[in-house]
């Protein structure tokens, strides 16, 4: 188990996660677009926001892989299944708290349940389990994160 | 806009709908009657279940009463350029003023939602009594009543409300009380509302500061409006009413703040309007642009494009503020306004095919681009898909703008708006805001639609476009097609305006259509159509007539400048209120008359 393996897993896992979400977009299962949500925190220009968002998304993907690696190291084991379990927890946490509650509070262009008539945010809040972006969004988001976790866990275990 | 009138009389416990003023905070709206009772308040959001719904059930709905004990007269207004309501009660012994607001969020720890009622003694003495009857979940939730720090609290599931009474003579249990005002005295009643979090009980200093700040935010917003045409006060009041209907967390604009206020008292035409209709999008964006609200316009367009993404190239008729499909329509066990049952939540019209919505959406995109905004590649691709859908499906019968629940038909207004959709798509393609590859196909289909409308949807006998193909019935909805650019400068435009002005009107008021719509009962005159006729008259050069009608229509608002959906034969308000489309149509008509007069 090496840090390089975890980072490789983070990179490939984020590629897979992004592709799954994008495919779900095209299949009209969800309006969730993580790079767009992240990028619009930095820029109000939609095209620029997407470009910046993809970079940020990959940075976060690598950062989370390091977090996974730290836990794998602490418990002394890693693997595809354990990584998938971490991905499941990660996906549930992202759907219920990270993107649903925390992101609207820090995102300068996103509304939250506390936004009042004095403001005109550009982005609708995701709602509980991200369901404002389509009722199938939680399933898609959790499945994508399970895939991400599995890849990080698997490549961490294979390395070294 | 200040009128002194005798205290309003209730019939069977229900205030006339004309008696209601609206206050709001960008998340929810409360209705305040002239007799001081708050009879409607969904919480935490406008489409949530209610804590007060006495307007739909005087016994079970719940209300917040605050009224002088002696006979009184009422004077009412909004604080200038705000959505803070001032109700002044004059009794034989003195006068006192009640200021109501749903406060706006700021910095610091504050309730999830907060309703403030501030009472000031103006002269002599006035004895008030008050009573809070919270009934969560449209009056149907199982509630627990208790107290925290001696303050009354009611809760159900994830929702809770508490009452703070300062110098208001609260009774031992805290849900009611009585007090007497004197010259210069000040009293305060506050409803603190929580949802999925603990209740917050602010102190007097915080409450005062927040109330002050709320007025200031509203004044600042109004000061930023750039409209400088005729009927400016009415237009600004409409803008403020519209702002109450903007759901701030997402930028969506809701059609009206209520559900199931009847189109006929005692009738069953009672619908839930707490959704955002695509049909209203072009008027909404145009109003925002005319009023100088670029932030709201941009937020609304972004919301519109995000929300319609999953269904593209189909459009739903309406969406929730969060961008979801409305929940299935169901009926609540409430008595309804003066026995007008059923009380419905959700809206079954959501799944209808209404082809006119595509024209509205494309017109909205056109206005957005014309205002200098960029349509990005994602939006462009999706708008192109909508145009392709219209080109391939305009021949399909639909339910039309009025959402009839009878069999789908070839509605004229739907066809007109399909032509508008394809014209606008082609124009957007010319400026590279939409893909160009289907432009010629769109133009050919637009010409085919025109041919259909001109040969089958115009009656030489009625000298008017008719309600549907091969019919003879009139429909004021076709005015909308004409206003959005179908048939500019056509002689048929003039004759249709003339026919509608002659045959669908009752004084200045306009009825929507003649003929069946699949729902029993009748309805009042439709205010939006009345304003559309004003705008159409201005467009065909009958400016003086338009201005006269406008003057009369402005006079038909209630005492604080609000409109419902319809007006009955004796001037009573009917339907949900405040009604966004009525206020949007007012803004558009005022601007059109101003432009035609210039």
Dihedral angle computed from the Cα positions of residues B84, B17, B255 and B457, in that order, rounded to the nearest 10 degrees: -140
Q: Helix, strand or coil for residue B85?
A: strand
pLDDT of residue B218 exceeding 70, the answer is: yes
Separation between Cα atoms, residue B193 and residue B199, nearest integer Å: 7
pLDDT tens per residue across span B389-420: 999 999 999 999 988 878 899 999 999 999 99
For the four alpha carbons of B405, B406, B407 and B411, in that order, the dihedral sign comes to: negative
Measured CA to CA, the distance from residue B435 to residue B233 in angstroms comes to: 43
pLDDT above 70: residue B457: yes
B61 contacts B92 by C-beta, under 8 angstroms: no
Segment 214-233 of chain B within 8 Å of chain A by CB:
217-218, 221
What sign results for the dihedral spanned by CA atoms A117, A121, A126, A131? positive
Asked if pLDDT for residue B78 goes beyond 70, the answer is yes
Is the pLDDT at B4 greater than 50? The verdict is no
| Side-chain half-sphere CA neighbours of B108 within 13 A | 13
Q: For residue A30, list chain B residues with Cβ-Cβ distance below 8 A.
A: 310
Is B81 near chain A, with CB under 8 Å?
no
Q: Which residue of B has its CA nearest to A121?
A: B299
| R_g over Cα of chain A | 16
* For B26, nearest residue in chain A (alpha carbons): A117
Compare all CA atoms of chain A with the CA of B319 and give the residue at the minimum distance. A132
Cα separation, B471 vs B459, whole angstroms: 8
Closest CA to B148 of B117, B207, B188, B194: B194
pLDDT tens digits, A41-99: 998 887 888 899 999 999 999 999 999 999 999 999 999 999 999 999 999 998 888 88
Interface test with A, best of B239, B300, B323, B377 (most A CBs within 10 A): B323
In angstroms, rounded to a whole number, what is the distance separating the alpha carbons of residues B52 and B344? 16
Three-state SS string over B319-360 comes to: ECCCCCCCCCCEEECCCCHHHCCCEEECCHHHHCCCCHHHHH
Using the beta-carbon criterion (under 8 Å), do A115 and B248 form an inter-chain contact?
yes
Please tell me whether residue B418 adopts helix, strand or coil conformation: helix
Give me the residue from A30, A111, A118 closest to B250, CB to CB: A111
The model's confidence at residue B7, banded by pLDDT at 50, 70 and 90, is very low
- Say which of A122, A131, A135 has its CB closest to residue B299: A122
Nearest to A117 among B25, B45, B311 (CB): B25
The stretch B68-72 carries a mean pLDDT of: 97
Contact A116 B25 (CB under 8 A): yes
Handedness of CA A66, A72, A78, A82 (dihedral sign): negative
Contacts of B309 in chain A (CB under 8 A): 28, 31
| Facing B302 at nearest CB: one of A115, A122, A131 | A122
Please check whether residue B591 is in contact with residue B286, taking contact to mean a CB–CB distance below 8 angstroms: no
SS3 B540: coil
Q: Strand B566-567 vs strand B464-465: parallel, antiparallel, or unpaired?
A: unpaired
* Residues B421 and B362 sit within 8 Å (Cβ to Cβ): yes
Mean pLDDT of B568-586: 95
- Compute the average pLDDT of residues A4-19: 95
Q: Residue B86: pLDDT above 90?
A: yes
**B389: Cβ contacts below 8 Å, ≥ 6 apart:** B313, B314, B358
Grade residue B2 by pLDDT with cuts at 50, 70 and 90: very low
Best residue of B294, B310, B316, B375 to probe chain A, by most A CBs closer than 10 Å: B310
What pLDDT is recorded for position B176? 98
What's the CA gap between A23 and A19, in Å, rounded? Answer: 6
**Do the interacting molecules here have an ipTM over 0.90?**
no
Can you say whether residue A134 is alpha, beta or left, with left for phi > 0 and alpha for psi between -120 and 50 degrees?
Answer: left
Pick the residue from chain B with its C-alpha nearest to A136: B310
Report the gap between the CA of B328 and the closest CA in chain A (Å): 15
Residue B505 — pLDDT band, cuts 50, 70, 90? very high
Whole-angstrom CA distances from B527 to A155, B259, B531, B571 are 66, 18, 6, 11
Q: How far apart are CA B253 and CA B247, in angstroms?
A: 6
pLDDT over threshold 50, residue B50: yes
DSSP class of B8: P
- The CATH number, out of the four listed (3.30.460, 2.70.98, 1.10.3470, 3.40.50), of the domain defined by the range B3-223: 2.70.98
> What CA–CA distances, in Å, run from B402 to B283, B331, B530?
16, 21, 15
With a cut of 90, say whether residue A125 has pLDDT above it: no
Q: Chain A contact for B105, CB < 8 A? A: yes
| Domain layout of chain A by residue ranges | 3-113+120-158
User: What integer pLDDT is reported at residue A120 of this predicted model?
Assistant: 79
Would you say A32 and A141 are in contact if contact means Cβ atoms under 8 Å apart?
yes
Nearest to B105 among A30, A116, A134 (CB): A116
State the number of CA atoms in the 13 A half-sphere of B401 facing the CB: 29
Q: Report yes or no: B319 at the A interface, CB cutoff 8 Å.
A: no
B381 touches chain A (CB under 8 A): no
Q: What is the pLDDT of residue B516?
A: 66
Q: What per-residue confidence (pLDDT) applies to A25?
A: 85
Q: Using CB atoms within 10 Å of the CB of residue B313, give its burial: 0 to 12 exposed, 13 to 18 middle, 19+ buried.
A: middle
Mean pLDDT of chain B: 93
Query: Measured over all CA atoms, what is the biggest interatomic distance in chain B, rounded to whole angstroms?
Result: 77
CB–CB contact A120 B246 (8 Å): yes
**Distance of alpha carbon B441 from alpha carbon B367, whole angstroms:** 23
Does residue B301 contact residue B368 with C-beta atoms inside 8 Å?
yes
Contact B218 A117 (CB under 8 A): yes
Residue B562 to residue B237: CA distance in whole angstroms: 8
| Gap between the Cα atoms of B100 and B89, Å rounded | 14
* Beta carbons of B300 and B287 less than 8 angstroms apart: no
Alpha-carbon distance B277 to B296, whole Å? 16
Contact assignment for B312 to A28 by CB distance below 8 Å: yes
Residue B246 pLDDT > 90: yes
Helix then strand then coil, % of chain B, to nearest 5: 35, 25, 40
How remote is the C-alpha of B262 from its chain's centroid?
15
Determine the Cα–Cα distance for residues A111 and B303; give it in Å rounded to an integer.
11
pLDDT-derived band of residue B8, with 50, 70 and 90 as boundaries? low
What's phi and psi for B27, nearest 5 deg?
-120, -40
Instruction: Find, among B11, B103, B15, the residue nearest to B577 by Cα.
Output: B15
User: CA of B65 to nearest chain A CA: how many angstroms apart?
Assistant: 26
Query: Whole-angstrom Cα distance, residue B76 to residue B84?
Result: 11
Range list of H helices, B183-231: 204-223
Cα angle B564-B568-B569, degrees, rounded to a multiple of 5: 150
Nearest CB to B243 within list A28, A117, A121: A117
Question: Could you give phi then psi for residue B34, rounded to 5 degrees?
Answer: -65, -25
Q: Which secondary structure element, helix H or strand E, spans residue B594, and what is its range?
A: helix B580-597
Band (B5; pLDDT cuts 50, 70, 90)? very low
Q: What is the pLDDT of residues B148-200, one digit of tens each?
A: 888 999 999 889 999 999 999 999 999 999 999 999 999 999 999 999 888 99
Chain A residues close to B298, C-beta within 8 Å = 120, 122
- pLDDT, average across residues B420-424: 96
CB neighbours of residue B16 within 10 Å: 18
- Nearest C-alpha of chain B: how many angstroms from A151? 29
Binding-face residues of A in 81-110 toward B, CB within 8 A: none
Residue A109 backbone phi and psi in degrees, to 5: -115, 10
pLDDT value, residue A117: 84
d(CA B287, CA B590): 11
Cα(B27)–Cα(B14) distance, rounded to whole angstroms? 26
CB proximity B588 to A under 8 Å: no
Strand-pair category, B38-42 with B509-510: unpaired
Q: What's the CA gap between B356 and B351, in Å, rounded?
A: 14
pTM (predicted TM-score): 0.89
pLDDT on residue B301: 93
Residue B89, SS3?
A: strand
List alpha helices for chain A, DSSP H. 3-26, 34-39, 46-75, 80-93, 103-106, 137-158
Q: Are A100 and A91 in contact (CB under 8 A)?
A: no
Task: Show the CA angle centred on residue B202, arms to residues B198 and B204, nearest 5°.
Answer: 165
Does residue A123 belong to the interface with chain B, where contact is any CB pair within 8 Å? Answer: yes
Chain B, 186-215: which have a CB under 8 Å from a chain A CB? 195
Looking at the complex, does the CB of residue B375 fall below 8 Å from at least one CB of chain A?
no
pLDDT of residue B518: 63
H or E stretch at B171: none
Chain B hits for A112, CB-CB cut-off 8 Å, are 249
Within 8 A by CB and 6+ apart from B150, the residues are B174
**Residue of A97, A120, A122, A132 to mutate when probing chain B, most B C-beta within 10 A:** A120
pLDDT given for residue B144 in this prediction? 92
Mean pLDDT, range A16-25, rounded to an integer: 92
Can you tell me the distance from the alpha carbon of A106 to that of A100, in angstroms, rounded to the nearest whole number?
A: 11
Q: What is the residue-averaged pLDDT of chain A?
A: 90
Report chain B residues whose CB lies below 8 A from the CB of A123: 302, 306
Which stretch of B111-115, B307-311, B357-361, B384-388 has the lowest confidence by average pLDDT?
B307-311
What are B247-284's pLDDT values in tens digits? 999 999 999 999 999 999 999 989 999 999 998 888 89
Domain ranges of chain B: 3-223
Distance between CA atoms of B326 and B58, rounded to whole angstroms? 27
Q: Would the CB atoms of B310 and A134 count as touching at under 8 Å? A: yes
Q: Do B25 and A115 touch (CB under 8 A)?
A: no
- pLDDT over 50 (residue B3): no
- Residue of B452 and A115 predicted with greater confidence: B452
How far, rounded to the nearest angstrom, does the alpha carbon of residue B157 sit from its chain's CA centroid?
29
Asked whether the beta carbons of residue A120 and residue B296 sit closer than 8 angstroms, the reply is: yes
What whole-number percentage of chain A has pLDDT above 70?
A: 99
Nearest residue, CB atoms, B24 vs list A29, A115, A117: A117
Looking at chain A, how many residues does it have?
160
Put simply, the answer to whether B217 touches A127 (Cβ < 8 Å) is no
């Amino acid at each position: 188990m090496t840090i390089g393996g975890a980072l490789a897993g983070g990179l490939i896992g984020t590629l897979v996660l992004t592709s799954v979400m994008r495919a779900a977009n095209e299949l009209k299962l969800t309006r969730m677009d993580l790079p767009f949500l992240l990028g619009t925190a930095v820029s109000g220009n939609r095209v620029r926001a997407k470009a910046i968002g993809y970079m940020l998304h990959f940075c976060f993907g690598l950062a989370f892989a390091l977090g996974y690696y730290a836990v794998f190291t602490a418990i002394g084991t890693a693997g595809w299944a354990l990584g998938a379990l971490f991905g499941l927890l990660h996906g549930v946490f992202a759907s219920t708290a990270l993107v649903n509650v925390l992101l609207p509070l820090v995102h300068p262009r996103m509304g939250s349940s506390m936004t009042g008539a004095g403001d005109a945010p550009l982005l609708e809040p995701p709602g509980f389990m991200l369901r404002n972006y389509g009722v199938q969004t939680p399933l898609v988001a959790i499945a994508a994160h399970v895939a991400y976790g599995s890849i990080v866990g698997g490549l961490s275990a294979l390395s070294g | 806009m200040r009128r002194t009138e005798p205290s309003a009389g209730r019939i069977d416990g229900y205030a006339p709908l004309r008696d209601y003023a609206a206050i709001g905070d960008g998340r929810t709206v409360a209705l305040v009657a002239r007799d001081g009772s708050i009879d409607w308040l969904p919480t935490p959001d406008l489409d949530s279940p209610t804590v007060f719904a006495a307007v739909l059930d005087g016994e079970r709905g719940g209300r917040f009463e605050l009224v002088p004990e002696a006979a009184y007269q009422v004077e009412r207004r909004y604080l200038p350029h705000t959505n803070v309501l001032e109700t002044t009660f004059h009794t034989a012994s003195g006068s006192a003023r009640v200021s109501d607001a749903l406060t706006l969020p700021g910095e610091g720890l504050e309730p999830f939602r907060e309703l403030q009622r501030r009472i000031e003694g103006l002269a002599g003495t006035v004895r008030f009594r008050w009573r809070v009857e919270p009934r969560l979940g449209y009056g149907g939730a199982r509630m627990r009543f208790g107290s925290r720090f001696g303050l009354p609290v009611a809760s159900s599931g994830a929702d809770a409300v508490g009452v703070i009474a300062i110098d208001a003579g609260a009774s031992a249990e805290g849900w009611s009380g009585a007090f007497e005002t004197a010259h210069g005295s000040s009293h305060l009643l506050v409803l603190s509302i929580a949802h999925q979090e603990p209740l917050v009980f602010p102190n007097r200093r915080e409450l005062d500061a927040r109330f002050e700040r709320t007025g200031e935010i509203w004044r600042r917003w109004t000061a930023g409006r750039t409209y400088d045409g005729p009927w400016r006060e009415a237009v600004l009041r409409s803008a403020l009413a519209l702002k109450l209907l903007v759901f701030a967390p997402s930028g969506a604009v809701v059609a009206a703040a209520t559900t199931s206020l009847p189109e006929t008292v005692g009738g069953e035409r009672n619908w839930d309007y707490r959704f955002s209709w695509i049909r209203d999008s072009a008027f909404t964006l145009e109003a925002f642009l005319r009023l100088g609200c670029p932030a709201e316009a941009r937020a609304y367009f972004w919301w519109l494009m995000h929300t319609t993404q999953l269904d593209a190239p189909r459009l739903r008729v309406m969406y929730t503020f969060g961008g979801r499909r409305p929940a299935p329509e169901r009926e609540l066990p409430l008595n309804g306004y003066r026995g007008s049952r059923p009380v419905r939540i959700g809206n079954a019209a959501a799944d209808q095919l209404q082809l006119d919505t595509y024209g509205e959406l494309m017109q909205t995109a056109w206005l957005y681009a014309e205002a200098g905004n960029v349509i990005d590649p994602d939006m462009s691709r999706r708008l192109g898909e909508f145009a392709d859908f219209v080109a391939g499906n305009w021949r399909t019968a639909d339910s039309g703008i009025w959402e009839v629940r009878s069999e789908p038909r070839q509605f004229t207004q739907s066809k007109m708006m399909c032509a508008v959709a394809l014209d606008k798509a082609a124009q957007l393609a010319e400026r590279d805001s939409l893909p160009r590859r289907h432009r010629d196909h769109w133009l050919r289909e637009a010409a085919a639609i025109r041919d259909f409308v001109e040969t089958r949807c115009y009656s030489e006998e009625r000298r008017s476009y008719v309600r549907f193909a091969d019919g003879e019935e009139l429909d004021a909805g076709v005015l909308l097609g004409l206003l959005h650019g179908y048939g500019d400068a056509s002689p048929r435009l003039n004759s249709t305006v003339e026919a509608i002005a002659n045959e669908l009107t009752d004084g200045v008021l306009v009825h929507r259509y003649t003929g069946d719509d699949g729902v029993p009962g009748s309805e009042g005159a439709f205010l939006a159509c009345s304003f559309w006729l004003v705008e159409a008259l201005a467009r065909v050069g009958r400016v003086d007539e338009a201005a006269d009608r406008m003057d009369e229509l402005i006079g038909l608002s209630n005492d604080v400048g609000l409109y419902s959906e319809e007006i009955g034969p004796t001037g009573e308000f009917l339907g949900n209120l405040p009604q966004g489309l009525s206020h949007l149509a007012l803004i558009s008509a005022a601007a059109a008359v101003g432009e035609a007069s210039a």
